[in-house]
Amino acid sequence: MTWRMTVWKPVPLLLLLCSVSVRSATYYVDYETGSDANAGTKKTSPWKRAPGMPGASGTVARAHLNPGDTVILKRGVTWPAAALPLHPMFSGESGNPITFSSVAGWGTGEHAVLDAECRAERCIDFSRYDGTFPHLVFEGLHLKDATGSGYENKQGEHHVVRNCRVTGAGGYSGLRSLCAHTLFENNVISGCLFLEGGYGLSMSYGDHSIARGNEISNCRKGLRFDNGLDHGVMERNYIHDLEPGDVRYAVTYRSSSCGTIRYNVVDIRGYGTSGTAIIAWGGNKSGLTAHTIYNNTLIGAGSGVGVADAWGAFEGWQIHNNICYRLGQGIVIGGSKTGHVLTNNLFWDCQTDIGGGASKAVSGSIHADPRFPGAALRTLADFAPCAGSPAIDAGIVFDSYHNGVNTDIGTTRVPAGRAPDVGAIESEAGRRIGPPRQLVLE
């Protein structure tokens, strides 16, 4: 019998591991006191520029951001046009994005400021088609005075712009995305006055994008979803004090299907004697399925239109639980398309409640004063129904959004009573209502 000796050799520990966990890094940036030669990993040794900013050198120029990394810009500090646009060519991962933000406790105020000084075209720029950079988050930033859009994206899906302020954008819109799965959330946007654009925010091409909780004012127009952006959601936005421009549309849904527009307050009194709160048309796309439009509060000055598909491009509108207040026409659907259902909408002081030649199934319409508490209607609280309002508990449960977990445009869960209220604000004692807040980032 022959005996064979087996010799066991040591195996490197690395080969025994199934996976290696890489710890995410946090970097700090301060244009006033930082240096690109610093390590950037402590508040006491910050970088001057963030990776992706023009003029970056030293450690910053060599830095590579990985999924889960965070770059924190100091609040109250301004990055001038010479340091813009920010164009970070890095990619995060699903559930593990790369984040550029400011945080409470470092600096002053609510934002770090990217000031294009009316010289740089964009503050954050992904418009170059020179790569794909998905899963990026930008929050707690003030995007100021760009000659184009404050933020523009053609290069990455799953971008989030949240809790930012955008002022003075001179291009098509304050925030603009042409990629899918974009989220614009809780931003405050004003002063976008380009005559042939001037949207607070716009999204095109990218399906399943969301505009949520934004406040848009002193712009030519509010929100636009365009060019085949299907299954988009506009919810809980406050649009007001708009300025007249080439056309007067506060919310536009063009050449796109299956959109959801809910719990928005859209005030078009700034347009004067004309204008439309929510408008849709087909453009060059056929076979369009219409949108679900419910629990919105639409305000006019005795003229204008609440909801319009005047060209009759869409099949199957679902329009429920909306308030149309002091408008020339409440809801207008033209053309010969069919399948339109209008239920439990409230009309008050409109010259025409429902118009257009399309066949419509209409039921439960309410013709009564919603009894808003504030005659001036200048804040969101002014659009909440008072006790005894015919809007209270007068809506229908339309879809799973009315599940007692989701909220109205404020913080009240819907429904608060036995049924949803009509309009964008649910009546509830002790509710807290105000414009979309700049959330504190911990």
pLDDT for 76: 98
Question: What is the mean predicted confidence (pLDDT) over 273-279?
Answer: 92
Distance separating alpha carbons of residues 368 and 282, to the nearest angstrom:
33
**Position 236 pLDDT exceeds 80:** yes
Distance separating alpha carbons of residues 85 and 315, to the nearest angstrom:
42
Higher pLDDT, 11 or 200: 200
Question: What is the mean predicted confidence (pLDDT) over 235-243?
Answer: 96
Tokens found for residue 72: 């924190």
Cβ contact 75:102 at 8 Å:
yes
pLDDT for 196: 75
pLDDT band at 22 (very low <50, low <70, confident <90, very high): low
- pLDDT-wise least confident of 60-64, 256-260, 295-299: 256-260
Distance separating alpha carbons of residues 301 and 330, to the nearest angstrom:
12
pLDDT for 110: 96
- pLDDT-wise least confident of 33-47, 139-153, 300-314, 352-366: 300-314
Percent of the chain with pLDDT over 90: 74
pLDDT for 428: 65
Ranges of each domain in the chain:
244-442
3-state per-residue secondary structure call for the chain: CCCCCCCCCCCCHHHHCCCCCCCCCEEEECCCCCCCCCCCCCCCCCECCCCCCCCCCHHHHHCCCCCCCEEEECECCEECHHHCCECCCCCCECCECEEEECCCCCECCCCEEEECCCCCCCCEEECCCCCCCCCEEEECEEEECCCCCCEEECCCCCEEEECCEEECCCCCEEEEECCCCCEEECCEEECCCCCCCCEEEEEECCCCCEEECCEEECCCEEEEEECCCCCCEEECCEEECCCCCCCCEEEEEECCCCCEEECCEEECHHHCCCCEEEEEECCCCCCEECCEEECCEEECCCCCEEEEECCCCEECCEEECCEEECCCEEEEECCCCCCEEEECCEEECCCEEEECCCCEEEECCEECCCCCCCCCCCCHHHHCCCCCCCCCCCCCCCCCCCCCCCECCCCCECCCCCCCCCCCCCCCCCCCCCCCCCCCCC
pLDDT digits (tens, 9 = 90+) for 48-59: 999 999 999 999
Question: What is the mean predicted confidence (pLDDT) over 83-102?
Answer: 97
pLDDT band at 274 (very low <50, low <70, confident <90, very high): confident
Question: What is the mean predicted confidence (pLDDT) over 82-92?
Answer: 97
pLDDT digits (tens, 9 = 90+) for 299-344: 999 999 999 986 788 889 999 999 999 999 999 998 888 999 999 9
**Position 17 pLDDT exceeds 80:** no
pLDDT for 314: 87
pLDDT digits (tens, 9 = 90+) for 335-379: 888 999 999 999 999 999 999 988 899 999 999 999 998 778 989
Q: What backbone phi and psi angles, to 5 degrees, belong to 62? A: -90, -10
pLDDT digits (tens, 9 = 90+) for 159-216: 999 999 999 999 999 999 999 999 999 999 999 998 778 999 999 988 999 999 999 9
**Position 14 pLDDT exceeds 70:** no
pLDDT for 306: 97
Tokens found for residue 193: 């006055």
Distance separating alpha carbons of residues 158 and 110, to the nearest angstrom:
25
pLDDT for 336: 85
pLDDT band at 284 (very low <50, low <70, confident <90, very high): low
Cβ contact 422:391 at 8 Å:
yes
**Position 13 pLDDT exceeds 70:** no
Distance separating alpha carbons of residues 278 and 264, to the nearest angstrom:
10
Q: How far is CA 434 from CA 72, 99, 103, 220, 238, in A?
A: 28, 27, 22, 23, 10
**Position 47 pLDDT exceeds 70:** yes
**Mean model confidence pLDDT for the chain:** 89
pLDDT band at 288 (very low <50, low <70, confident <90, very high): confident
Question: What is the mean predicted confidence (pLDDT) over 105-124?
Answer: 97
**Position 130 pLDDT exceeds 70:** yes
**Position 21 pLDDT exceeds 70:** no
**Residues contacting 343, CB < 8 A, separation 6+:** 319, 320, 321, 362, 363, 364, 396
pLDDT for 442: 27
pLDDT for 195: 73
